Amino acid sequence: MKRVFVLLLCCFFTFFAQAQEIGVLKYGGGGDWYSNPTALPNLIKFCNEHIKTRINPEPVTVEASDVDLFSYPLIHMTGHGNVFFSEEDASQLRKYLLGGGFLHIDDNYGMNEYIQKEIKKIFPNQELKELGANHSIFSSAYEFPKGLPKIHEHDGKKPQAFGIFDENRLVLLFTLESDLGDGWENKEVHNDPEDVRLKALKMGANIVKYAFEN
């Protein structure tokens, strides 16, 4: 019995030694970077169960200035309001993204007008480009032939996915009028139907798979 316990303990530590982590970006400006607290844990659980990732169950809060920013293959960012990056933040995020990192910005409704100018600080010589439905992020794990799914209605506008590229690699994804994070949250938070939640989780899994493999 003792030997079995030791073996299980070794397996536990081996798993987490090999596990990757997802970061939640804490930013300045007063916006609620901490919104949707159950979203990423649910997405991580879904990915570990269905696309065989090994991600630590709890995401890690990280700031652009943190030296361990480069430890995370994927950084997630969300909120409803104001966003501000200092020049140092923007420089660090640019190095992170050009060095192999990936940033997913999910507008939780109300972020768009603020984040656009902050993205320009990170990549002053680039414009956000809308992704076509044929981009590989829409088929990396699950097929979304029409592109980004609509999860929550706000203004009745179509969902859009925009990106910044380093050569042919998508390094920054901005999802707008979709609200994927709301679909990842616990069912009782928004009372979304199961098919809507599953659609959001599958699209999230596509983002994770793309970020980890590209």
pLDDT in tens, 157-204: 899 999 999 999 999 999 999 999 999 999 888 888 999 999 999 999
Q: pLDDT per residue over 117-160, tens digit each? A: 999 999 999 999 999 999 999 999 999 999 999 998 777 789 99
Torsion, Cα 181 83 128 171, to 10 degrees, reads -60
Tell me whether residue 90 is in a domain.
yes
Burial string for 166-181 (b: 16+ CB within 10 Å, else e) reads eeeebbbbbbbbbbbb
- pTM score over 0.85: yes
| Residue 13 banded pLDDT, cuts 50, 70, 90 | very low
Q: What CATH number has the domain bearing residue 70?
A: 3.40.50.12140
Are the C-beta atoms of residues 185 and 39 closer than 8 Å to each other?
yes
Phi, psi angle pair for 81, to nearest 5° = -130, -140
Q: pLDDT per residue over 47-106, tens digit each? A: 999 999 999 999 999 999 999 999 999 999 999 999 999 999 999 999 999 999 999 999
pLDDT of residue 18: 55
- Domain tally for the chain? 1
pLDDT of residue 7: 34
Are the C-beta atoms of residues 137 and 207 closer than 8 Å to each other?
yes
Tell me whether residue 37 is in a domain.
yes
Structure tokens at 38: 């159950």
Are the C-beta atoms of residues 39 and 22 closer than 8 Å to each other?
no
Tell me whether residue 15 is in a domain.
no
Give the domain range for residue 207.
Answer: 22-213
Tell me whether residue 152 is in a domain.
yes
d(CA 149, CA 183): 11
Helix (H, G, I), strand (E, B) or coil at 87: helix
Tell me whether residue 106 is in a domain.
yes
Tell me whether residue 99 is in a domain.
yes
Q: pLDDT per residue over 14-45, tens digit each? A: 334 458 999 999 999 999 999 999 999 999 99
Q: Are strands 103-107 and 169-176 parallel, antiparallel or unpaired?
A: parallel
Tell me whether residue 84 is in a domain.
yes
Tell me whether residue 100 is in a domain.
yes
pLDDT of residue 62: 98
